[in-house]
Amino acid sequence: MRRKPARPVTGWMARASLQPFPTSPGRTSASARRNVSTSPVRFLGAGPEFDQRRKIFSGLYRDACIQAGVRRFLQGSAQCLIVTGGTGAGQRDLTIETVTPLLEKVLPGFGELFRWLSYGEVGSAAMLSRALCGVSRGKVVCCLPGSEEAVRLALCKVLLPELPHLIWVASR
């Protein structure tokens, strides 16, 4: 299959849990947790240009806040939304149930590949992940676990290598 040349990618990062963005070892202050430089956006390195924005969805109405955030993304010009957190098996993990109804297509291979790669790092605990990737209105929406290691794995090994092509296909 012939691929279109890579073009700049714009996107959002969002956190959908009660936990703050991961911080560097030894940095536990509230100001360090709010520092965008400690967020998973930093994992992108020389990859696509993601907006240095973050939204923290928490409280009793997390599902409504998450849906509102996804809808706001779908109305904007960004091409990819990455939501981290809230993808586990706990009662408070609502990200997948909240985002899935907003997707036109789900790409099950994303979660399958992520779990397969995770198995090499965390063993059978990989089955607890419900990582998700889908397409809506020609845009890519990804839901990743909240741990720093899981975000790094998903971005570096699964999503970023294919993101420009995935956006090109989704927008056709």
Domain ranges of the chain: 11-19+36-170
| Confidence at residue 29, expressed as pLDDT on a 0 to 100 scale | 39
Percentage of the chain exceeding pLDDT 90: 40
CA nearest to 48, candidates 147, 135, 142: 142
| Confidence at residue 127, expressed as pLDDT on a 0 to 100 scale | 94
**Are 51 and 78 spatial neighbours (Cβ–Cβ below 8 Å)?**
yes
Percentage of the chain exceeding pLDDT 70: 65
Give the up-direction half-sphere exposure of residue 118: CA atoms within 13 A in the CB hemisphere.
Answer: 24
| Confidence at residue 30, expressed as pLDDT on a 0 to 100 scale | 41
Mean pLDDT throughout 147-172? 92
- Asked whether residue 125 carries a pLDDT value surpassing 60, the answer given is yes
Give the chain's mean pLDDT: 75
Mean pLDDT throughout 17-43? 38
Mean pLDDT throughout 91-104? 92
**Are 95 and 57 spatial neighbours (Cβ–Cβ below 8 Å)?**
no
Instruction: Look at 100-104, 119-123, 145-149 and tell me which has the smallest mean pLDDT.
Output: 145-149
Show the beta-strand stretches assigned E in 38-151: 80-84, 105-106, 132-136, 139-144
Give the up-direction half-sphere exposure of residue 65: CA atoms within 13 A in the CB hemisphere.
Answer: 16
| Confidence at residue 91, expressed as pLDDT on a 0 to 100 scale | 86
| Confidence at residue 9, expressed as pLDDT on a 0 to 100 scale | 52
Please indicate whether residue 147 or residue 60 has the higher confidence score (pLDDT). 147
Give the up-direction half-sphere exposure of residue 159: CA atoms within 13 A in the CB hemisphere.
Answer: 26
- Asked whether residue 170 carries a pLDDT value surpassing 90, the answer given is yes
| Confidence at residue 14, expressed as pLDDT on a 0 to 100 scale | 58
CA separation for the pair 21, 35 (Å, rounded)? 9
Note the pTM of the prediction, 2 decimals.
Answer: 0.74
- Asked whether residue 3 carries a pLDDT value surpassing 80, the answer given is no
Fold for the domain defined by 11-19+36-170: Molybdenum Cofactor Biosythetic Enzyme; Chain A (3.40.980)
* Residue 117, both tokens: 């790669």
| Confidence at residue 72, expressed as pLDDT on a 0 to 100 scale | 87
